[in-house]
Amino acid sequence: MPGRTDPEGAIAEAAAKYSNWGRWGDDDVLGTVNFIDEAGRREAAALVRHGVSLSLSQRFDTDGPQKGWRRRTNPVHTMTDTGMEAVHGDQGFPHGFGGADDVIAMPLQCSTQWDGLGHIFDHGRAWNGRPADKVVTSEGDLVTGIEHLAAPVAGRGVLLDVGRVFGDDGELPDGFAITEEHLTATAGAHGVAVGRGDIVCVRTGQLTRARRDGWGDYAGGPAPGLSFTTAGWLHRTEIAAIATDTWGFEVRPNEFDHAFQPLHQVVIPHIGLLVGEMWDLDALAAHCAADGVHEFFLVAAPLPVTGAVGSPVNPIAIK
């Protein structure tokens, strides 16, 4: 990797080396999700042995990790009709009918979520080389909105519990840079292979620590995560998506001086990789450790919010 003082050079080098621009045509809106095909989904569905269904989502509530950075707040859940109105006959329905309704206001990336292809740009260019100002406007993502991913994100999931293999009591320390060597060694320890079309879940244990010790700087602060040097592995393996139990997917502080999320700047606009963050992988990790099987059927559809550049998700791993 180039020296710590040249993030721009490192980003440019990786972007040129690992670009998928044009790979699926000029009009592509799916990026690496194209690697998930019907045959792969059939094979993934056949992985279900126990019928156990595990949610990989944190809860969406006011006690979440956000602290207001980049205007990101925790969800605000408001009841617009309650049992109180029903009991006191204030709802105006006939024959004793009553009900409750509610509304939620939240940033789309405040908790367990996908980064859409319109989320990150490199020098004003979005996925597939498109000018960013022609892709995302005040009307939303006009080209690669998250709604395009509402159906296809279902396939073989693979858990790489790097925290369990390399951490202390299942947890990696903040600032731990996960390299390709860590990923391949973890896969080997689990007896699982990573390949085309996989949705890879990387557990660091940081969320476990935040649950125990409090959120602290979980949202935006120091964290274990993927090293910038994994860009080649992320491209070469032809995985469809990757998700972590951390706020930012890549190691923080970042590995360059005066840099911000350089791996994002390569993998989203150039590789077209779907990136998930703040996933809750603890229950899945416990189940995988118990039965020794680290592959499963994974369904992780975003909400089809038209023109959104990210979306909440409730990923379901079925084993």
Write out pLDDT tens, residues 66-124.
998 888 999 999 999 999 999 999 999 999 999 999 999 999 999 999 999 999 999 99
Using alpha carbons, select from 76, 66, 79 the residue that is nearest to residue 113.
Answer: 66
> How many Cα atoms sit within 13 Å of 131 on the Cβ side?
3
Which residue bears the tokens 């995560």? 225
Output the DSSP codes for 196-253.
TT-EEEEE-SHHHHHHHH--TTTTTS-B-EE-GGGHHHHHHTT-SEEEESSSSSB-BS
Domains and CATH numbers, the chain: 7-70+108-318 (3.50.30.50), 76-105 (no CATH)
Write out pLDDT tens, residues 204-213.
999 999 999 9
What are residue 140's DSSP bridge partners? Answer: 137
Write out pLDDT tens, residues 5-40.
999 999 999 999 999 999 999 999 999 999 999 999
Q: What is the DSSP letter of 208?
A: H
Using alpha carbons, select from 168, 186, 184, 185 the residue that is nearest to residue 176.
Answer: 168
> How many Cα atoms sit within 13 Å of 130 on the Cβ side?
22
User: Does the pLDDT at position 1 exceed 70?
Assistant: no
What is the β-pairing status of strands 113-115 and 310-312? antiparallel
CB 224 within 8 A of CB 176: yes
